[in-house]
Amino acid sequence: MTTTTIIDPKATVLPLLEGSTWPNAAEALAQVHTLPVPTSKTEAWKYTRVGKLFNQPYITPKGDATVTLPARLPFDTTRIVFVNGHFRADLSDDLKTDKGIVIDSLKHHLVHGPVKAHYGQVAPIGDRLFTAMNTAAPTDGLIILATKGTKTSKPLHVLHITTDGGQLIQPRDLFMLHEGAEVEVIIEHVAEGNASTSLINSIRENLIGEGANLTIHLLQNEANGPVHIGLDGVTIGTKGRFSIDTTTLNGSLVRNEVNVALAGPEAHAELNGVYVLNGTTHCDNHTYIGHDVPDCTSDELYKGIVAEKGTGVFNGKVYVKQDAQRTRAYQSNANILQGDDAKVYTKPELEIYADDVKCSHGCTIGRLDEKGLFYLRSRGVSEAEARRMLSHAFMTQVLERITNEEWRKHLASLIDAKLEAL
Amino acid sequence: MGPNGSGKSTLANVLAGREEYEVTEGTVTYQGADLLELSPEERAWKGIFLAFQYPVEIPGVSNMNFLRTAMNETRKANGLAELGGKDFLTLVRERAKLVEMDADLMNRNLNVGFSGGEKKRNEIFQMAMLEPKLGILDETDSGLDIDALRIVAGGVNKLRSKDNAFIVVTHYQRLLDYIVPDVVHVMADGRIIKSGPKELALELEERGYDWVKG
């Protein structure tokens, strides 16, 4: 007689998730036990395999690691440093300069009323294993609480440094903007040494009040960087505005999920993405925009170049409820494939139940324009340079949407350097 | 000159190195070298310039940036120092006058949103900047009104010297009122079937291509 023992693949992460005192942790841990690991049969994860992430043991993140801070951005920011997911006041700037805006470690504020009331509301667990894992034991994260009418005097620059492999790091942010507040945040991940076997499973909850405006710039440019599984949950109130631009230039496996609820009339969401993928980098941009009420607008533009053995995935869904009349929703994903081994999977989706709407979606996968290439070369531009010029130009349309000119220039130079290396 | 489909544009594109065309027979010798061995950019560096019949629109690449890259790569290939920003701009201003190009067009994306006439002017402007030894104008007159035609032809005339040559592909005698050719070649079915002095163009206009095809 034989007995079969079924080993839960999550056994590698479960020990690290026990004993957390964060809100909802115990319930979340129970969910981790029951929720399955997504497979290629799970529609939302069809092209991004995560099973292998559970094949290795993990350790708790090292918060006190010694790090070398990279050079500052070429423009003025308030820098906030996290090392392996832990907030490091000793490495961060003075965070108390903007009156009426709380910027701090989220861990320090869990017992405060507004946090208690909203934590876990924007990114509920549902059937999401990674959300359950994060909620069961967040490492730490950033709270931004901007009171009515306040504005960040300069962009916040959140720098996440990962120092070693094998860590399970679970950042958990909560951004709350009250009426008319304006906040701009740059989030950058940097790896020191080889962090490729670490897993960063992050959740950010963004709650945007009436007429408030949140801009997030996300940069993923790490050689030997960790795996990223990230979720931005966003709820936008009346006339509120949310804008995110995600730039992925390096990494191993990167999943960026943005889940937006347009919850008040005339709310607006703008999602932009740029990616240049080579080596074996796999980048999956997964978006959901819920038009829940009338008169809201959303606009998504993701463009990228996939070369060598890189993989680009885009899955965008726009859902327009029956009541959401006069919705305007645009979505576009365009890709350039270079080489025989590069892969792109793209799936735009529209689901519309209202009858007075303007929606469009589209996706393209192609090559660099041969006519353009010949035109440039016939003028004396070398083939390599002509390819770079056209590649950069392909993504310019996305960069032009980024309103922070200094950030846009910074990205443009990073993209140029990346294209140079292709 | 030559009727539709006679191979004029094909010849122009083959000379510039368009890769869609495969040359199966014959040779092209340019300044003693085998032209067909060279990539399009190498031909440009050696002084060949094709003014396109349909200039390509390239969003996201600025006219000026592109031109500066093209000029400096050409200079580098010819052992010359790169042109600094100030010298480049001085040259731009000087050459733009030749074709009455608007300064505004310089800073726009390459040919994007240009009218037909503006595109052709931009071709001649680029030619004026790059100073080719052999300029090939592929139906540069098509789609031009009479004023634009005069400006474009004027630009070409100012560039003519004893050190360069132009191949002007056209259907019409009209252009040749402004750019007076030294020799007229007539192409049909991929071959030059008749050559003669500038008067040949007038005679063609009067009698049609059937006359030379016989």
pLDDT digits (tens, 9 = 90+) for A301-328: 999 999 999 999 999 999 999 999 999 9
**3-state secondary structure string across chain B:** CCCCCCCHHHHHHHHHCCCCCCCCCCCCEECCEEHHHCCHHHHHHCCEEEECCCCCCEEEEEHHHHHHHHHHHHHHHCCCCCCCHHHHHHHHHHHHHHCCCCHHHHCCEECCCCCHHHHHHHHHHHHHHHCCCEEEEECCCCCCCHHHHHHHHHHHHHHCCCCCEEEEECCCHHHHCCCCCCCEEEEECCEEEEEECCHHHHHHHHHCHHHHHC
- A244: which strand partners? A216, A271
- Domain map (residue ranges) of chain B: 8-213
pLDDT digits (tens, 9 = 90+) for A47-77: 999 999 999 999 999 999 999 999 999 999 9
Yes or no: say if A23 and A120 are a contact pair by the CB < 8 Å rule. Answer: yes
Q: Which tokens sit at A197?
A: 């076997």
Would you place residue A2 in the very low, low, confident or very high pLDDT band (cuts 50, 70, 90)? Answer: low
User: Tens digit of pLDDT for each residue in B136-167?
Assistant: 999 988 888 888 889 889 989 999 999 999 99
Q: Cβ contacts (< 8 Å) between A389 and chain B: which residues?
A: 61, 65-66, 69
A131-155: pLDDT as tens digits: 999 999 999 999 999 999 999 999 9
pLDDT per position as a tens digit, A89-139: 999 999 998 999 999 999 999 988 889 899 999 999 999 999 999 999 999
> Would you call B41 and A382 a contact, using CB atoms and an 8 Å cutoff?
yes
Contact B15, B28 (CB under 8 A): yes
Residue A1 clears pLDDT 70, i.e. is over it: no
CA–CA dist B201, B36 (Å, integer)? 30
pLDDT of residue B209: 87
Predicted confidence band of residue A224 (pLDDT cuts 50, 70, 90): confident
| Interface touch A393/B61, C-beta < 8 Å | yes
Whether residue A5 has pLDDT greater than 70:
no
Are the Cβ atoms of B40 and A377 closer than 8 angstroms? yes
Using an 8 Å CB-CB cutoff, list chain B residues near A383: 39, 41
Q: Which residue of A has its CA nearest to B61?
A: A393
B75-131 pLDDT, tens digit each? 999 999 999 999 999 999 999 988 888 878 888 999 999 998 899 999 999 999 999
Nearest CA in chain B to A377: B41
Phi, psi of A236 (to 5 degrees): -115, 125
Helix (H, G, I), strand (E, B) or coil at A31: helix
Q: Which of A118, A403, A348 is nearest to A237 (CA)?
A: A118
Within an 8 Å CB–CB cutoff, is residue B209 touching chain A? no
Its ipTM equals 0.95
Among partner residues A370, A379, A396, which is closest to B44 by beta-carbon distance? A379
Partner A, chain B 34-53, Cβ-Cβ below 8 Å: 39-41, 43-45, 49-50, 52
**CB-CB neighbors (< 8 A) of A385 in chain B:** 69, 73
Residues A391 and A368 sit within 8 Å (Cβ to Cβ) = yes
Element (H, E) at A383: helix A383-399
Nearest CA of chain B to the CA of A383: how many Å?
7
- Least CB–CB distance from A381: residue in B52, B56, B69: B69
Whether residues A379 and B67 touch (CB distance < 8 A) is answered with: yes
pLDDT at res. A200: 98
Rounded CA separation A389/B43 (Å): 20
Best of A379, A397, A401 to disrupt the B interface (most B CBs within 10 Å) is A379
Which of B73, B80, B136 is the best mutation test for A, with the most CBs of A within 10 A?
B73
Condensed to tens digits (0 to 9), the pLDDT of residues A245-256 reads: 999 999 999 999
Q: What is the pLDDT of residues A9-60, one digit of tens each?
A: 899 999 999 999 999 999 999 999 999 999 999 999 999 999 999 999 999 9
Higher-pLDDT residue of B103, A213 = A213
| Nearest Cβ partner for A379 among B18, B60, B70 | B70
Residues of A in contact with B56 (CB under 8 A): 369, 371-372, 374-375
Does residue A195 contact residue A222 with C-beta atoms inside 8 Å? yes
- DSSP H/E element including A161: strand A156-162
Q: What is the pLDDT of residue B84?
A: 93
CATH of B8-213, one of 3.30.450.20, 3.40.50.300, 3.30.465.10, 3.40.30.10: 3.40.50.300
pLDDT at A402: 97
DSSP character for A154? S
For B65, the closest chain A residue by CA position comes to: A389
pLDDT in tens, B9-51: 999 999 999 999 999 999 999 999 999 999 999 999 999 999 9
In this structure, the number of other CB atoms found within 10 A of the CB of residue A352 comes to 16
User: How high is the pLDDT of residue A7?
Assistant: 78
